[in-house]
Amino acid sequence: MTTFTIHPGSGETLQALERNIGFIPNLAAAIAASPAALSGFVGLQTALRSTTLTGLEREVVGITVSRHNDCAYSLAAHSTFARKQGGDEPLIAALVAGEPMADSGLEALRAFTQSLLEQRGHVASELSPEVTLEVIAQVAYTTLANYAADVSGAAIDDAFRA
């Protein structure tokens, strides 16, 4: 098990996170070394819940980013959250494999996200400006999670194991 240094200034944010989801994920414990980083991470997570994207759509973006960044921790976490948002196993398997999906709306999000990542933002979007920016925000959030998980060596939480 990885040991994390939790900054004393991160305590309140971690306690709120634990109240909201029932445990402190290893990723959050890793990010808690910096109160500013943890506050930004949790703040962006909270803001993303109020976008026009559904929970499942956010997880489509999250899995696509995590696959692109080869982050096992976040692939496990976003797959778990996708299941909780109604994603079935064939859909999740297609996402994890980077394969097209039958649902045209979800496929449009997956394809745009993949293109955005591959072209480092130099793409045209057929999505609305609002949705485009919400996808970009989800990409930023997930990239922060991916990098923090990989740099810290955060172990996949039991709650995220299929």
Q: Which domain holds residue 138?
A: 55-152
* 65 and 142 fall within a common domain: yes
Does residue 140 lie in a domain region?
yes
DSSP letter, residue 1: -
Alpha-carbon gap, residue 162 to 146, rounded angstroms: 19
Same domain for 81 and 144, yes or no, is yes
Query: Which parts of the chain sit beneath pLDDT 70?
Result: 1-3, 162
Residue 160 domain flag: no
Structure-block tokens of residue 102? 């039958």
Written as six digits, the tokens of 162 are: 């299929």
Burial of 85 (0-12, 13-18, 19+ CB in 10 A): middle
Domain match, 41 and 118 both:
no
pLDDT at 6: 82
How many whole angstroms separate alpha carbon 132 and alpha carbon 135? 5
Structure tokens at 106: 């979800």
Which pLDDT score is estimated for 1? 47
**Amino acid (1-letter code) at residue 2:** T
- State residue 3's pLDDT score: 65
Overall domain count for the chain: 2
Residue 18 is assigned to a structural domain of this protein: yes
Contact status, residue 125 vs residue 112, Cβ threshold 8 Å? yes
